[in-house]
Structure 1
Amino acid sequence: MACPVNNTVELNPTLLPLEWLLGTWECDEPGEGSFPTIKPFRYTETLHFSHVGQPVINFMFNAFHAESKKPLHRECGFVRMQPGTNRVAFIIAQNSGLVEIEEGELTGQQLSLQSLQLARTSFAKEPYVKQICRVFQLRSDGKLEQTVSMATDNQPLMQHLRITYRRSS
């Protein structure tokens, strides 16, 4: 289900520095995922960033296995920006039972975030995720690149995902 951009309501002025994120983004080529405790994989993903005029951006990310098309991962939540600063927060719920608060800074059209708080269901799969760092970069060719690094109970922080998207709406 898409989260369409609301063209009838003005974007809250607090969010103007993040306007470049709005819309639907689809990967051109499959992204690559790896981590020492899993088999490397390729995936496709669609991102939806929308708003309803409040000082918050709504988002939904849907990832699928590149070959089998099997659903892999979903994330949804909100993006907030501290008024008058370049400080940004992502509030994220994942279908794996993990909930995150990531905060960071916007520099031009690059958003660098790191987890401040992680919570999980009592029956979450081990090893537990202990840290997440995420970078969104709007490249000069108009494509959006995302990298995600992760640390768990038994692995240090390292790159887990890398993917590039093109705007589809």
Structure 2
Amino acid sequence: VELNLTLLPLEWLLGTWECDEPGEGSFPTIKPFRYTETLHFSHVGQPVINFFNAFHAESKKPLHRECGFVRMQPGTNRVAFIIAQNSLVEIEEGELTGQQLSLQSLQLARTSFAKEPYLRSDGKLEQTVSMATDNQPLMQHLRI
């Protein structure tokens, strides 16, 4: 299927991306673990790129799943990521400059019974996820 012309500036993103080193996950109620992320960016000819991913570093067993879409505003360098997880949806928007995406979280929506997420943006290509439950305070859960 031919790539939609709107997405030509993002053609470099298509394919499979893997982290260089495993990330780390921990929480008081589970055994610490290492994980990898493999992101698959593909298209079906529409003006949107699809992606999905996280795997256990040793067993390669699938862990949490994020999936979503990357869109470009036609005729501009504006990009939007729409990311869905099992209890929340995030919309990030920003700009594409060459092969660099600069994005900012704009909106979060979550199920009415999920804990409110804690997000951190430090400008690095790094992801840190904190988690809290009714029995545990907010603390770092994942880092990659």
CA contact (8 A) 2:120 2:128 kept: no
* Other-structure match for 1:132: none
* Alignment TM-score, normalising by the size of structure 1: 0.62
Q: 1:151 to 1:41 in 2, by over 3 A?
A: same
**Alpha-carbon distance between aligned partners in 2 of 1:160 and 1:19, rounded to the nearest angstrom:** 33
Q: Which runs of 5+ in 2 are unaligned?
A: none
**Alpha-carbon distance between aligned partners in 1 of 2:123 and 2:108, rounded to the nearest angstrom:** 32
**Alpha-carbon distance between aligned partners in 2 of 1:115 and 1:141, rounded to the nearest angstrom:** 12
**Residues 75-115 of structure 1: CA deviation (Å, up to 9, x unaligned):** 1111100111110001111124x111110111111111111
Superposed displacement of residue 122, structure 1: 1.0
* Alignment TM-score, normalising by the size of structure 2: 0.71
CA contact (8 A) 2:2 2:45 kept: yes
2:131 aligned with 1:150: yes
CA contact (8 A) 2:77 2:96 kept: yes
Superposed displacement of residue 43, structure 1: 1.9
Q: 1:82 to 1:34 in 2, by over 3 A?
A: farther
Q: 1:17 to 1:159 in 2, by over 3 A?
A: farther
**Alpha-carbon distance between aligned partners in 2 of 1:79 and 1:37, rounded to the nearest angstrom:** 34
Q: Which moved more, 1:106-115 or 1:149-158?
A: 149-158
Identity fraction in percent: 99
* Other-structure match for 1:5: none
CA contact (8 A) 1:102 1:117 kept: yes
- RMSD between superposed Cα atoms in Å: 5.7
CA contact (8 A) 1:127 1:152 kept: no
Q: Which runs of 5+ in 1 are unaligned?
A: 1-8, 129-137, 164-169
* Other-structure match for 1:105: 95
CA contact (8 A) 2:67 2:85 kept: yes
Give the secondary-structure state (helix, strand or coil) at the position aligned to 2:112: coil
| Number of equivalences | 144
The 5-angstrom pairing of residues 9-158 of structure 1 reads 9-32=1-24, 42-59=34-51, 61-67=52-58, 69=60, 71-96=62-87, 98-126=88-116
**Which structure has the highest strand share of the two?**
1
CA contact (8 A) 2:90 2:106 kept: yes
